[in-house]
Amino acid sequence: MSSNVADIALVMDQFSQSSRHNSHIESLIARARSGDAWAFDQLMIAHQQRVMATAWRMLGNVEDARDAAQEVFLRLYKHLPKYDARQEFAGWLYRIVINVCHDVARKRGNRHASFEAEQEAGQLPILLSKDDSEHAAMRAEEQKIVMRALSTLTEKERAVIVLRDLEGISTEEVAKILGSTPTTVRSQISTARTKIKLYRDCFLKGGIRK
Amino acid sequence: MINCEKAERLIPLFVEADLEATEQQAVSQHLDICLTCRNLAAEFQSSQTWIQAMGVPAFDERLLADLRNAVQQNVAKPKLEIASVFLPLWNWKFALAGAVALLLLVSGILMQARVGSEHQPQVAAGIPSNVATQQLITDAKIAEKKQASSVFVQHRATSKTIPAHQRKRDLGEAPASETPVAGVDPGIVATAETTASATAVNASLADFLTLAPSTPPEMAAKSETKVAEPEMLRMEIQTADPNIRIIWLTPKEPPARANGVAEPK
């Protein structure tokens, strides 16, 4: 009984925090729309990690991700007056991120991300982990293989996997962000997960070298 | 209850509960009784865990600060570029009207240049085209009246003695011998240095002469007594060059054709 009460209290607390966070973001958006540079800076601080992470997962290297993030915030500033407060801000921002990443990927053409080169140059982002250095190295190796697996997907498949499986957004929300239908998104998710599983199976069986 | 084939198709979505509630339930029931599909679902679950274990990357704070600064600088930069000045005026209607006006202007200039080039030679000669044509026709008629008797008779007379020579001179070809032909006014006959237009007229005359029945010189006297020569029409055309005059001899009526010679069409 006491456990249930604690769970309810935790959920209520999270809801309260989320609600405060949302109202804080809305306040920043309103101020940024009226030209408040500080409010816009705070808005960037609140979303920079998420934007960078999504761009990096989509594009596969830090340099392109940084360029994409810069373009995302410029577009955000430009289109902020058109933002409809009735829609979720995060979803609207994700849509900008995905569109910018598609543009960047198109511009770079067939140039594939070189995770090995980034790793050698020490540019790979550090994963948030409390692991020791040995474990961190193993995780970095795993990360490299996962990124390779992601690189086998098409742009659309990669976008749905990044949003659904790595960002944890629901299928319906992903469909809204990508301007698609839930059925199409499910089909793309199914294909992408099958490809990733096949890649991992090949890797585990030794068919793919590290 | 669903079969294995359908279950295999739904398992990639089942592992993350992306199916509708009924389908999720159906797959779950199938996995309870099918070991193969249960193993497949476990593999997919493992793959999902593997990819999600990638974690959240933490980017360097300095990198993020540089990113924000770059954005703020771009945002704060006053945009007084030419494009931004004209952008509010930009409208597709204006663009279309401008393109049409430009097209009309260019086509007008081209047309003017073309018309000018057509009139230029006649203007340079100082004679308008219709006046020049009328003058040539009048000259031809006068020449015909004046020389109908004398020159035509002379032509007939010379054609008896030196028909080839006369024809060659009429054709503008160099004669075999430069001996002047008695009774023929040298000014009437076209000179050998003909222009391109004169050559064209001579070519058509040559066609006519080729198609006309040829009479050997030894038979000429005989044939003259028996067969009447066709009545000839002589036309003289003075070209812009005073040294060049075109003479055209043609029968008033089509000559009788020899057997086996096709009528010209």
Identify whether B37 is part of a domain. Answer: yes
The answer to ipTM > 0.90 is: no
pLDDT in the model for residue B240: 86
Confirm whether B174 is domain-assigned: no
B208 has a pLDDT exceeding 60: no
Least confident of A42-46, A165-169, B53-57: B53-57
Residues of the domain holding B20: 1-51
Q: Is the CB of residue A190 less than 8 Å away from at least one CB of chain B?
A: yes
Q: How far does B33 lie from chain A, in Å, by closest CA?
A: 23
Put simply, whether A12 touches B (Cβ < 8 Å) is no
Q: Is A126 on the interface with B (CB under 8 A)?
A: yes
Number of domains in chain B: 2
* Boundary of a domain, candidates B33, B51, B69: B51
Which has the higher per-residue pLDDT, B176 or A80? A80
- Residue B198 falls within a domain, yes or no? yes
Higher pLDDT, A175 or A207: A175
Which long-range CB contacts under 8 A does A153-158 form with residues at least 24 apart? A153/A192, A153/A195, A153/A196, A155/A102, A155/A105, A156/A188, A157/A188, A157/A191, A157/A192, A157/A195, A158/A57, A158/A58, A158/A192
Higher pLDDT, A197 or B120: A197
Instruction: Tell which of B12, B35, B51 closes a domain.
Output: B51
Q: Which residues, other chains included, contact B39 with Cβ-Cβ below 8 Å and sequence gap of 6+? A: none
* Strand B57-58, strand B245-251: pairing: unpaired
Instruction: Specify the pLDDT at position B178.
Output: 43
> What residues contact B252, with CB distance under 8 A and at least 6 apart?
B230, B231, B232, B233
Mean per-residue pLDDT of chain A: 82
The answer to whether residue B41 is domain-embedded is yes
Q: Which of B15, B49, B63, B71 is most worth mutating to test chain A (most A CB atoms within 10 A of its CB)? A: B71
For residue B197, being part of any structural domain is answered with: yes
Q: Is residue B149 part of a domain?
A: no
The answer to the question of residue B150 being in a domain is: no
- Which of B19, B56, B67 faces A48 most closely, judged by CB atoms? B67
For residue B57, give how far its alpha carbon lies from the nearest alpha carbon of chain A (Å).
4
Q: Is a pLDDT exceeding 90 seen at residue B222?
A: no
Query: What tens digit of pLDDT does each residue of B48-70 get?
Result: 998 888 776 778 889 999 999 99
Which residues in chain A touch residue B47, judged by CB atoms under 8 angstroms apart?
Answer: 193, 196-197, 200
pLDDT of residue B160: 44
Of B136, B149, B115, B130, the closest CA to residue B231 belongs to B149
Q: Hey, are the CB atoms on B57 and A166 less than 8 Å from each other?
A: no
> Residue B243 falls within a domain, yes or no?
yes
**Mean pLDDT, residues A24-49 taken together:** 89
List the single residue in B with minimal CA-CA distance to A43.
B68
A75, A115, A185, A197, best to mutate vs chain B, most B CBs in 10 Å: A197
Which of A9-23, B42-56, B166-180 shows the lowest mean pLDDT across its residues?
B166-180
